[in-house]
Amino acid sequence: MSRPADIPRISLTWLLVAQVLVIMPHLSHLPLWILGLWLGCAVWRVQILRMRAGYPGAWLKAGLMLGTAVGVFVSRGSLIGLDAGVVLLIAAFILKLLEMHTRRDALAVIFLGFFVVLSAYLFDDSLLAALFSLLPVTALLAALIGLQQSGVAARPWATARLAAGLLLQALPLMLLLFVFFPRLEPLWSLPTANDQAVSGLADSMAPADIAELSRSGALVFRASFDGEVPPREQLYWRALTLERFDGRRWSQSSFALLPLAPAWEKQGQALRYSIVMQPSSQPWLFALDVAETSLENTRQMSDYRLQRSRPVERALLYRVTSWPAARRESTGSRDNLRRALQLPQDGDPRSRAWAAELKRQYPQTEQLVQAVLSHFNREPFGYTLRPPRLGLNSIDDFLFASRKGFCAHYAGAMTFVLRAAGIPARVVAGYQGGEYSPAGGYVQVRQFDAHAWVEYWQAGTGWVSVDPTFQVAPERIELGLEEALADEQSFLEGSPFSPLRYRQLGWLNQLRLGWDNLNHDWQRLVLGYQGAQQLALLQRWFGRVDAQVLALSLVGGGGLLIGLLALWLFKPWQGERDQQQRLFKRFEQLLARHAGPRQPGEGARAYAERAAQALPAQAQAIHAFAATFEAQRYAGAEASPALLRAHLALLRRELPWRGSRPPRQ
């Protein structure tokens, strides 16, 4: 069995530090027993180093592995999948501490640590996470340097400085590979095991769901417009359309999942913009009506939403062109209109009776819609995140009893009444508004901007969007949720430390917007640099881009960078200009083969004495050069490089060039 000393103390120290830094980004999704496992293994490893404990035996190691597998299965419900795989990887990274016998074992642990660092990007690829990952990488490099047992490896901070220097030296090559290497699908685009939508919006909705989203300040996406940003009241970001109603919840119809191209006509001025969307674990994208995009594997669905062929599991950059004034399905298909009239067979009798009365009073569709909107505006309806509970007949209770609710209450109630009056209508769920960032020139949309509105169909006109919430709380649409809830004081009440609650503090708000701008640039320029963006950039530089151009760029650029780095490290232009010192270095090189190199602090005379003992036949020539060098260098004799060269040439002729090397000290 190898001794603990086979792995240097400094390397083990940095490896333990690296494990702490590597595990930290995973704390939010790791089971607690992993922390206990690390603490136990780290203490055991330190005791092995102190010669107070031995290495675990085969049975104990097998028991630890089995216990770890059982723990992962119990905490994750499976040994297969991304979450379980990451936990197993971290557990292996920890357990490997106990069987490190040799430097080769330590190398395996260090390389495994780099994989664990990479796995953190599966859960968080933000700028802060990327900056933090430099710390564990530096610690792992320091552990790698510590394995070499060099002079610097015995000094902890010198080892860390060298590791940081190596990381900085690799930066130019990393940038070259980032720009020119073909953009493959990154590791962190793999789907997570959690099927719950990160964005919060789901394919069904009850009023309480939207209200719950509005208590969160999490970022959903950022939108950058090519020209002037439209007014806030025009920013209705469609996510999905809800057509089915069961008396309590609105949900998507199965027909909406079919990739059938909807009928619409482009009219008016187009809006062009780009969106950086946060991971949502859902396939739909966000855009203003009516939207088109060239993003691959994405198409416009039958209800005018944009949808990818797979869920969005990482930050996604895409370009959109929207026509807000477009005419949508002006003729209308029988099946679409039939689905937009679906209601439960019974329930909410008062709402149905009111719809029938409205139909008698206002036979024209537009008149009836305006009557409903005026009713919301005229009657004492209220906007609140704390609505009273509704009974079995939820629409009746809201319209005729509580009259207090959130956007989903108003959108759902109006859609119900329009359908009961024979007007095809549906609920649209998405986000409304957003906060404009003056520094970045983009609009950031957060969870509390979640919103629901109504679309109704009118013959000859097509689908028309209306927002009943505007009739009750116009400040919600024009100014935002915070202003709409100013009297209620319920804006982000569950997040007292969120900087979004203190936007009235100028300096704090500037810091928040500045940091958000950095994150936006990171996601747009770095995470968004994928195949299409790379191709567009390289075509601007080279015109024609193919495999040969990429290969030549990589090889040529890499060679140039390595050459420049070598020049910077070795600095040949800073060679020894002192002729006496340069000749003495040649003297050292001649004798090093036979007498060994000159030791640190060893003077010219002492080195000459040691060399003369190893080479007695050449002792006179050795002493002659050393004496002349000392006289010229230190005794004030006239400097004569020619005399030193003559002594050096005589020594070179007398040395036995085929002699053997001296034994290693």
- How many other CB atoms are found less than 10 A from the CB of residue 341? 17
pLDDT at 188 (0 to 100)? 45
Which residue from 100, 89, 501, 443 is spatially nearest to 288, judged by alpha carbons?
Answer: 443
- Coil, strand or helix at 477: helix
Per-residue pLDDT at 45 exceeds 50: yes
pLDDT of residue 458: 92
Q: Tokens standing for 276? A: 């950086």
What DSSP string runs through 283-314? SB--EESSEE---TTEEE-TTS-EEESS---S
456 or 584, higher pLDDT: 456
Is residue 138 within 8 A of residue 160, CB to CB? The reply is yes
Is-catalytic flag, 467?
yes
- Quote the pLDDT of residue 661: 46
563/567 Cα distance (integer angstroms): 6
Statement: residue 96 has pLDDT above 70: yes
User: CB under 8 Å to 626, separation ≥6 — which residues?
Assistant: 587, 604, 605, 607, 608
User: Tell me, what amino acid is at 230?
Assistant: P
pLDDT computed for residue 369 by the predictor: 95
- On the question of pLDDT at 419 being above 90, the answer is yes
Provide the token pair at 482. 């915070």
What confidence score (pLDDT) does residue 539 get?
67
- Residue 625 contacts residue 651 (beta carbons within 8 Å): yes
The band of 633, judged by pLDDT with boundaries at 50, 70 and 90, is: confident
pLDDT tens digit sequence for 210-261: 767 777 888 899 999 998 999 999 999 999 899 999 888 888 887 766 767 7
Q: What is the reported pLDDT for 665?
A: 41
> Is 451 one of the annotated active-site residues of the chain?
yes
Q: What is the largest CA-CA distance in the chain?
A: 127
Complete DSSP assignment for 568-599: HHH-GGG----HHHHHHHHHHHHHHHHH-PPP
5-26 average pLDDT score: 85
Taking only the tens place, the pLDDT of each residue in 543-588 is 666 656 666 766 776 677 677 766 666 666 555 567 788 888 888 8
Give residue 658's pLDDT: 46
| Separation of alpha carbons 588 and 620, rounded Å | 16
Determine the 3-state secondary structure of 382 from DSSP: strand
Tell me which of 83, 289, 467, 516 is the catalytic residue. 467
Which range among 226-230, 304-308, 593-597 shows the weakest confidence by mean pLDDT?
593-597
Q: Which of 253, 248, 252, 254 is nearest to 206 (CA)?
A: 248
CB 399 within 8 A of CB 381: no
Of 520, 517, 131, 178, whose CA–CA distance to 317 is shortest? 520
Tell me whether residue 260 is exposed, middle or buried, using C-beta atoms within 10 angstroms of its C-beta: 0 to 12, 13 to 18, 19 or more. Answer: middle
Work out the average pLDDT over 4-12. 74
Rounded-to-integer distance, Cα 12 and Cα 102, Å: 11
Q: Locate 332 and state its tokens.
A: 């209308």
Mean pLDDT of 608-630: 87
In the three-class reduction of DSSP (H, G, I as helix; E, B as strand; rest coil), residue 101 is classed as coil
Strand 382-383 and strand 404-405: the pairing is parallel
Question: Can you give the pLDDT at residue 547?
Answer: 59
Highest mean pLDDT among 273-277, 579-583, 621-625: 273-277
Q: Using CA atoms, how far apart are residues 294 and 306, in angstroms rounded to an integer?
A: 11
Q: What is the pLDDT of residues 464-478, one digit of tens each?
A: 999 999 999 888 887
**464 neighbors 456 (Cβ within 8 angstroms):** yes
Residue 570, pLDDT score? 61
Is residue 222 within 8 A of residue 215, CB to CB? The reply is no
Average model confidence (pLDDT) for the chain?
A: 82
The secondary structure of residue 400, as a DSSP letter, is I
% of the chain exceeding 70 in pLDDT: 85
271 SS3 class: strand
Q: Residue 463, class by beta-carbon neighbours within 10 Å (0-12 exposed, 13-18 middle, 19+ buried)?
A: buried
Instruction: Give the number of other CB atoms < 10 A from CB of residue 508.
Output: 12
Considering the chain, what percentage of its residues have pLDDT values greater than 90? 25
Whether 407 is catalytic: yes
What is residue 450's three-state secondary structure?
strand
274 neighbors 321 (Cβ within 8 angstroms):
no
Catalytic residue among 125, 397, 409, 451: 451
How does residue 194 score in pLDDT terms, banded at 50, 70 and 90?
very low
User: Residue 271: what pLDDT?
Assistant: 95
Q: Which of 83, 407, 409, 520 is catalytic?
A: 407
The answer to whether 622 and 645 have CB atoms below 8 angstroms apart is: no
